[in-house]
Amino acid sequence: MSEREMSNAEAAEFYYEHRDDPEMWGEQVDAKISRKLDSVVSVRFNSAEIERIQQAADAAGLSLSSFIRHAALTAPGAQVLDIDRARKDMAQARRFVLDALKALHA
């Protein structure tokens, strides 16, 4: 049975049984983990967005809060694109080029 075919309970049992298996997890490294979560941030999603996010969290086996926290903390390295900013930048660049062409032909 592949990992994708396991139920959550079967996967939990499998990973618990292999928790000390270095072949399963690779080289052990030291990590500093802070479990003190003392800030709350309010974020609004429309119903379609929250449904997609909840489905992704469920598929990852994470709570909604943990999934959003993980996504937010990994986003800076993921080269997230602000499409509105990109459109504004492209419009500004287009105006610059058109103005430069007009100046050349004047």
Say what the pLDDT of residue 23 is.
78
Greater confidence (35 vs 16) lies with 16
pLDDT tens string 26-79: 777 777 777 777 888 889 999 999 999 999 999 999 999 999 988 888 877 776
- Asked whether 39 and 48 are in contact (CB, 8 A), the reply is no
* Predicted structure pTM score: 0.43
- Which pairs from 30-34 meet CB under 8 Å and 24+ separation? none
Say what the pLDDT of residue 24 is.
78
Say what the pLDDT of residue 1 is.
54
